[in-house]
Structures are given as structure tokens and as C-alpha cells.
Chains A and B, each alone.
Chain A
Amino acid sequence: MSGARPRVAVVAFPGSNDDHDAVWALNALGADAVLVWHAAERLPEDVGAVVLPGGFSYGDYLRCGAIARFSPAMRAVTEFAAAGGPVLGICNGFQILCEAGLLPGVLRPNASLSFVCRDVAVRVELDAPPFTSRCRQGQELVIPVKHGEGCWFAPPELIEQLEQNGQIVLRYVGDNPNGSVDDVAGVVNERGNVMGLMPHPEHAVDPLLGSGDGALILASLLDAARDFALAPV
């Protein structure tokens, strides 16, 4: 069981570039965040949550996120998720979780083919632990995106299934920056303990930088991390 400052592992891959921002933001919100190099075969002890940060792991070779899933740390992350541990993938982290089969769908090049870097509004479709317990359903959050391949895609029958299961957590409001189907900005797995989103909550934890709304998601994650006790192996 984690103490008052829940330990969160932030996995850094070759090419990750938001890993330090994620650590900074999580610590600012009361976490004991630790960087874990992708070659690590195990997560640190007492980890209550895992964050896969943004960036361009392995240069986005083949398809974004497709290579990172073979990193040794991803085996540990997969085991952690299978044990019910909360795992949050941001941007490239979202792409990796989709390619690893831990999340439904896939991220494709933006419909505009342009890299987008701006604040967007997203609507909270599901307010529940472990990622949105501090939000309320229908609440709009302003969080920046910065990506070239954030066009989430799933075939219609899969989307219908996700909708029925309540797995679509965030949708863009008004301005869809990448052409994702159904304006999807963030999804969870069937069990609800793995989430991916394209917007960067770690870049929106201080109103001085334009918005503090991302803190709601990360603070929700920290609540869950406090509650999660990694079952002894």
C-alpha cells in the first residue's frame, strides 16, 4: 500500500519527451513519481499507478507506438494492468497502449495531415475512478493537444460496443483537432483500469499556463493509486 504520496511509475522510452513533465506534474499534485527506463523488467515496489508519457518512442517507426510495446517494461506494465493497477497513457502512451492491445482502437495520422498544438475542449462522458472521479459527467475540460497522429479509429461495431460499455471517457467538443471517429479523445479498457487520451493533462496543472483542468484527471489517478495495493507476487 502506498503512503500519503502514492508512488507512480512514469515509463520513459527512447524518444519519450514528456516524461519529465509528467513526473513534475504528478509530484506537484502530491505523488512520489519515479522515472522508469523502458529496459527495466520490473516496476519499482509499491507502485500504485503507471503513466506512459507522450513523445515519439522509437521515432514512431513502422506505426506510432508499435515498437515500444516490445520494451521489457511493457511486460511489467501489462502484468500491472492485469492485476487491476491503474495505467494512464498520454498521447504516445495512448498509441502504445492501443498497439499493445491493452486499449481498443488505433491512432492514425491526423485527418488534416498537420501537427496540431493548441488547447482543446473535451467533455467528460464518464465520471468514475480511477481517471475521472474528480470530474463530473458533462463537464468540459480545457487541455492542450500536440500531436501529428491522434486520429483515433475503431470500426463502427467496436464503437457501438465501447459506447454500450461506457468505455468512451472523453470527447472533443466543437473543435475535433485530428478527425477521430465520434470525436473520441480518450477511452478505457473493458475493466476500466487502463486509459489513453490524446490531450496532455500534465501540461494543464497550473492556471498560470492557461488551464488547470488536467489536474482533475491526474489527481483522480493519484486517488486511485493511493487505493491500489499491488498484490504480492
Chain B
Amino acid sequence: MKATVLVRPKQGILDPQGQAVEDSLRHLGFAVAEARVGRVIDLEVDVVDPQQARADVERMCAELLANPLIESYEIEIAA
């Protein structure tokens, strides 16, 4: 089963990478008010039950994939 985890810097957390991207986009002439840079983790989970898969990925996020002090995450389980 395919699962995707989107990890984002939490709101209010300084994101220097996002600021650099935002500045560069402005240099290119794009009207960008804000850019935030996160991370995408695509997983192939060896589980059949979508609920079980979600619970597993939830634990992966808590234990490794995201640092709860600074990052939020979203989990998508492919139908």
C-alpha cells in the first residue's frame, strides 16, 4: 500500500530555506507572498488494511519522520 507523508515547518517557525526560495522567486518576477519548504516521503507499506497502514505511518512520523517541536505532518494513504 502506498502512503505519502508531507512534513512541513510549523507555522511561526522561522524557515530560512523557504525565505531563500521566496526571495529567488521574487527575483524571477513572480508575485510570491510567502514560500515554505517541507519534505515529501513516499512509502510503500507492507500492510493490506488502510487503517492499519495509517496507524503505522502515524507512528513512523512520531518516532522518526517529523520532529514535533518544529514540524507538522499530513499522511495520505492511497485508496
Contacts and interface: CB of A to CB of B under 8 A. Distances in A.
B16 A153 contact: no
Interface of B: 13-14, 16-17, 20, 64-65, 67, 69-70
B17 A113 contact: yes
Interface size class of A (residues with CB under 8 A): 10 to 19
Interface string A86-109: 000000000000010000011011
A62 B69 contact: no
A116 to B, nearest CB: 13
A112 B20 CA distance: 10
20 contacts: A62-B64, A62-B65, A63-B67, A66-B64, A105-B69, A106-B70, A108-B13, A108-B14, A109-B16, A109-B17, A110-B16, A111-B14, A112-B16, A113-B16, A113-B20, A151-B14, A153-B13, A153-B69, A154-B69, A155-B69
A155 B12 CA distance: 10
Contacts of A99: 67
Contacts of B16: 109-113, 179
